[in-house]
Chains A and B, each alone.
Chain A
Amino acid sequence: MEKIMMDGGQAIIRSLEAEGVEYIFGYSGGSVIPIFDALITTKTKIKFVLVRHEQGAAHMADGYARATGKPAVVLVTSGPGATNIITGVMTAHMDSVPMICLTGQSVSWMIGKDAFQEADIFDISMPVVKHSYLLKSSDDIPRTIREAFHIATTGRPGPVLIDIPKDMSAGPMSVDLFAEMDIPGYKTHENDEVNPQHIQDIAEALSKSHKPLILAGHGVLISGAQDALLELAQKLKAPVTTTLLGKGAIPETHELSLGWLGMHGSAYANKAVCECDLLLNFGSRFDDRILGDPAQFCKQAKIIHVDIDPSEIGKMIDPDIHCIGDALKVIEALMPHVAELNTSAWLKKLDGWKQQYPFKFKRQGNLKMQHVIDEFYKLSDGKAIVVTDVGQHQMWAGQFYKTDHPNSFLTSGGAGTMGFGLPAAIGAQFGKPDELVVCFCGDGGFQMTLFELATAALYKLPIKIVVLNNHYLGMVRQWQELFYDDRTSGVDLEGNPDFVKLAEAYGIKGFNLRRPGDAKRIIKAALEYNDGPCLINCEVEKTDNVFPMIPAGKPIEAMIIEAPKAGSKKLEKPTGST
């Protein structure tokens, strides 16, 4: 290929353009000045968003990718700039979200000599990336960026980091923008032929099942298999439950949907896991939040695991049958081999549980988080892209904001990163400018990244920022109440600011919501507000608890469906992870 002269920074921007990048979220600094300069000199159409903290940039790229399915770019400087993105990179890695991180680095001859703002980000980031590079030559820029996008977006997606010494981005170079990739060890498995024997085995197991249960994970959404999944479920007459990250893999209002399962998922989905005779998992990694006690999980059923990542097979659960491949390809391969199952008695039983154990809350008394979320659900016709932070509100958002569309419930599942919500919502709104984005945060997580209010205000993003304010770190307080004799420790958020005044200081419209009777009126006003972001501070019940709850490490059968009555037997401390 013909080589052209440009400087390294320009080669980076041109390579990003070739990948169809729409947004770069970042923060400038000494070692990336040549790349920032190239944003000007190349007259690129890529839009740059200046955040207020590098962690915000990573979560924005994450939210953008979850909402659109396309990767965005994070561009930060060396040293602290690079280390500040680690939480965001880890969050994306845990939830298989594609992301390209470009970090500046000291000039190459100073690396390893404790240069100013030097951090060994290549090694620091290693456990939380899908792959990473330390550029050794500016000639490698186009090939490396092409490989990075390929790796980030194919197979099981994930973040890829490229560490760029300043002399690589600064100097003039002769560059082949169409350099070929060279990654012979990379296996995506997404184009693999689906093993016909495995399909036969799955079809045969299904044909013998009267109480099947399909479990849909994030892999279904990543693969874009939601329509095929619904078709399969309808053909089989099989109910579907999803993981929290799989919300939207089947419309949650569909009669075959059991909602999401796990620690705070629906009682009926969890009961179905305990009684099904076959569990067909597409693209869920059997996370500990859904297993309870792995040794007791779904003992009575045949377990089938379909995943694009071979290392997930047998990691938590040894399946009876497994199949490696892309969810859509496997479903399509399976479809011709299956027929309607005799599930009427099973579906009737599940319907009974749905009637018996609905998600519920009391509208009387102090304002509840559930009430606010439920009102948002109704007033937005369930059409919002919901972004959550982490904690009690996240679980209630999952319970009361039903998800009927793919890629519209964005939440930090694996990592459980507080502070994810606001910046991820900003990223989602950049990616989906014409859609309603509602961000549910607790007062704890919101304060971890609230500085990005400036970014939301600057770009007049019409996000509804809902701060569900109980002045507590509610989820930990709930554990302390239930398992530690109500000894609250390190959870009282005394000293919260006035969030409405804070919003106003950023030029953002603020609403206060205190009384249940005002919920409808104020939420309607917030939804109708159309001059940039608005913040709704909801003063809610301080000591409410999320149910159902499966104590960590306990079998699903130990699920606590409703709040234990006062004076009831003390609960044992959970043995599972966090």
Chain B
Amino acid sequence: MTNNKTIHTLSVYVTNKPGVLARIAQTFSRRGYNIESLVVSSAIDGNFSRMTIGVSGAEDGLGQIIKQVGKLVDVLHCTDHTFDDAVVKEMGLIKIAVAAEDRGEALQIAEHFGCKTVDLTDESIILQVVGDPAKIDALMEMIHKFKIIEIVRTGKVLMSRGVEIT
């Protein structure tokens, strides 16, 4: 088994029933895979949900686990989009402790990354950033020079390009 840290992005289309998330999570955890991010939301048809799962673990067993997830009764399909040219987006909220007089540089970095300032007090600001996960990582890198109070990321969502269904 090779232990590669690639985070795979899977899109799972499921019936909106109790237990479906637990079954999927169990399938990964039993084989030692770690769920790095998870986004669940209702599909156009409210009887179904779309999950975007970021998962890491041994590269060579993943294909088999995707098949195991795919065979769950509540799962319509499970597709690995890691190497597809798909639209991948994530949102992050970053709360930094910054006094009013030092805000200038923080806001400059924020502007460069297209962030919105969604909260502003005398001691802190909250920046909202939207983009592909690499862009958010780069922002995190830059903003580290300030005192970060907390970071919340949504985890990535993904959609196939063109008319193709994800």
Chain A interface residues toward B at CB < 8 A? 122-123, 126-127, 130-132, 134, 136, 151, 183-187, 309-311, 313-315
Contact = CB atoms under 8 A, between A and B. Distances in A.
A57 B71 CA distance: 28
Contacts of B67: 310-311, 313
Contacts of A127: 26, 30
A312 B79 CA distance: 18
Nearest to A309: B71
Given A126-B19, A134-B18, A311 B70 contact: yes
Given A127-B26, A185-B74, A309-B71, 17 more contacts: A122-B19, A123-B22, A126-B23, A126-B26, A127-B30, A131-B73, A134-B18, A134-B19, A183-B15, A184-B15, A185-B15, A185-B75, A310-B70, A311-B64, A311-B67, A311-B70, A313-B67
A136 B75 CA distance: 20
Contacts of B38: none
Contacts of B75: 185
A185 B72 contact: yes
Contacts of B96: none
A131 B17 CA distance: 12
24 contacts: A122-B19, A126-B19, A126-B22, A126-B26, A127-B30, A130-B73, A131-B73, A183-B73, A185-B14, A185-B15, A185-B72, A185-B73, A185-B74, A185-B75, A185-B76, A186-B73, A187-B71, A309-B71, A311-B64, A311-B68, A311-B71, A313-B67, A314-B63, A315-B64
Query: 10 closest A-B pairs (Cβ-Cβ)?
Result: A311-B67, A131-B73, A185-B76, A311-B68, A186-B73, A185-B75, A185-B74, A315-B64, A311-B71, A185-B15
A311 B27 CA distance: 12
Nearest to A136: B18
Nearest to B66: A311
Interface in B43-75: 63-64, 67-68, 70-75
Contacts of B63: 314
Contacts of A184: 15, 76
Nearest to B67: A311
B135 to A, nearest CB: 34
Nearest to A315: B64
A185 B75 CA distance: 5
A310 B68 CA distance: 8
Q: Among the interface residues A126, A183, A311, which one has the most CB atoms of the partner chain B within 10 A?
A: A311
B19 A132 contact: yes
Contacts of A311: 64, 67-68, 70-71
A186 B70 CA distance: 9
Nearest to A310: B67
Contacts of A151: 73
Contacts of A126: 19, 22-23, 26
Nearest to A155: B71
Contacts of A132: 19
Interface in B9-25: 14-15, 18-19, 22-23
A74 B109 CA distance: 64
Nearest to B64: A315
Contact of A314 (B15, B23, B64): B64
Interface string B101-145: 000000000000000000000000000000000000000000000
Contacts of B18: 134, 136
A313 B30 CA distance: 19
Contacts of B22: 123, 126
A13 to B, nearest CB: 25
Contacts of B19: 122-123, 126, 132, 134
A81 to B, nearest CB: 21
B164 to A, nearest CB: 20
Nearest to A311: B67
A315 B26 CA distance: 18
Most buried by A among B64, B70, B71, B76: B71
Nearest to B14: A185
A313 B67 CA distance: 9
A182 B110 CA distance: 49
A132 B17 CA distance: 11
A234 B151 CA distance: 68
Contacts of B72: 185
B15 to A, nearest CB: 5
A97 B69 CA distance: 20
A132 B22 CA distance: 12
Interface in B67-96: 67-68, 70-76
Nearest to A122: B19
A183 B47 CA distance: 11
A131 B14 CA distance: 14
A551 to B, nearest CB: 23
B24 to A, nearest CB: 11
B157 to A, nearest CB: 21
A575 B88 CA distance: 44
Contacts of B76: 184-185
A123 B26 CA distance: 10
A134 B30 CA distance: 23
A446 to B, nearest CB: 32
A179 to B, nearest CB: 16
A105 to B, nearest CB: 13
Contacts of A131: 73
Contacts of B71: 187, 309-311
